Amino acid sequence: MPMLKGKDIVSIKEMKEEEIEAVFRVADEMVPIARGEERSDLLHGYVLASLFFEPSTRTRLSFEAAMQRLGGGVIGFSSSAGTSVEKGETLADTVRMADGYSDVIVVRHPYQGAARLAAEFAEHPVINAGDGAGQHPTQTLLDLYTIKKEMGKIGGLNIGLLGDLKYGRTVHSLAYALARFRANLYFISPDILRMPRHIVREVERYTRPYETSDINEVIGDLDVLYVTRIQKERFPDPAEYRKVAGSYVIDLDLLRRAKDTFIVMHPLPRVNEISPEVDKTKHAKYFVQAFNGVPVRMALLAMVLGVR
């Protein structure tokens, strides 16, 4: 029985370590197909419903590329404009329809808990592509995959998560997964954007994170720095956003104080938190990371559909 067949991927917490490792093994096999060097019709005849109620570039395009690279079809929308949601249709009804038209559903929504709700109404597997400030499990899979490929391991590394730890869903999923893989965690954020306490408590079952607002204090210790954008759209008060906008800028001066093997990651989009001069350095891994979204999502789609 294929390991993930028929499963919903709503939170990374629900995936076992051996399931995550299995996704990485299948992703490795997918790389030549993701690059377009080999062709595949592994998912020929299958249809993905791609329901994006919130802006996305990488997540949506890499899911759709993943499905099409494997010979599958894609239906869906990239904003609720032009759909019956504008007429007042509920998420539950939209999902029930998509469920009837497809074999697997990917959903991104501004409300936390939306993917869980979708999974309750769909017979087919539902994959969470980001629910408000909640979780973003497929981003975590590609983040872990990238760290493992670039550094050869996850356990024992000193990994800093920097920026908007309060509203950033990528770091909510990632912190938990990194702790489980026994990384040493550093949470670096402005005071008002610290990691929510319920996530810190969960992380503390495995490791004690070091919390600071000063990147200079820890830069020399880190093997990996995961930078995030301040999530402007989630601030209830624009004045609060203005207080913390531009809190951190990763530049060459900072990199000079980092280890030789140090890498910088970012889920993207970036605004100004990584200076473009960093892109050309050997430390910059965010574009490789974005590419890794394709083989990882190919693996996940093939696995929940039960063909791998």
Residues lying near ligand NCD in the complex (CB under 6 A) are found at 58-59, 130, 136, 139, 169-170, 229, 267-268
Q: Which of 58, 116, 232, 234 is catalytic?
A: 58
Report the amino acid identity of residue 31: V
Q: Which of 204, 32, 5 is nearest to 103 (CA)?
A: 5
Known catalytic residue: 87? Answer: yes
Q: Is 109 a catalytic residue?
A: no
Contact between 191 and 171 under an 8 Å Cβ cutoff? The reply is no
Residue among 46 and 147 whose Cβ is closer to ligand NCD:
147
Residue 112 burial class via C-beta count within 10 angstroms: exposed 0-12, middle 13-18, buried 19 and up: middle
Q: CA end-to-end span of the chain, whole Å?
A: 9
Closest approach, Cβ 115 to ligand NCD, in A, equals 13
**Measured from the CB atom, is 94 or 173 closer to ligand NCD?**
173
Residue 127's SS3 state is strand
- Is 108 designated active site? yes
Query: Do the beta carbons of residue 105 and residue 125 sit within 8 Å?
Result: yes
Name the phi and psi angles at 187, rounded to 5.
-105, 115
Residue among 46 and 63 whose Cβ is closer to ligand NCD: 63
Catalytic residue chosen out of the listed positions 136, 166, 229, 297: 136
Is 197 considered catalytic here? no
Q: In this structure, what is the dihedral angle of CA atoms 200, 202, 203, 204, given to the nearest 10 degrees? A: 90
CB of 169 to ligand NCD, least distance (A): 5
Least distance in angstroms from the C-beta of 136 to ligand NCD: 5
Distance between CA atoms of 158 and 263, rounded to whole angstroms?
11
Nearer to ligand NCD, 130 or 209 (CB): 130
Q: Which member of 87, 201, 205, 280 is catalytic? A: 87
Which DSSP letter does residue 9 get? Answer: B
Q: Which of 7, 60, 69, 108 is catalytic?
A: 108
Q: Rounded to the nearest whole angstrom, what is the least distance from the CB of residue 168 to ligand NCD in the complex?
A: 6
Q: Are 22 and 302 in contact (CB under 8 A)?
A: no
Q: Kindly state the smallest distance separating residue 47's Cβ from ligand NCD, in Å.
A: 23
Q: Is 136 a catalytic residue?
A: yes
Nearest-approach distance from CB 170 to ligand NCD, in angstroms? 5
Our CB check for ligand NCD shows the closer of 76 and 130 to be 130
Cα angle vertex 46, ends 44, 49, to 5°? 135
Pairing of strands 104-109, 224-227: unpaired
Say which DSSP state 85 is in.
G
Q: Which residues contact residue 64 at a Cβ distance below 8 angstroms, ignoring those fewer than 6 apart?
A: 48, 50, 74
Indicate the residue among 130 and 295 with the shorter CB distance to ligand NCD. 130
Q: Which residues are catalytic?
A: 58-59, 87, 108, 136
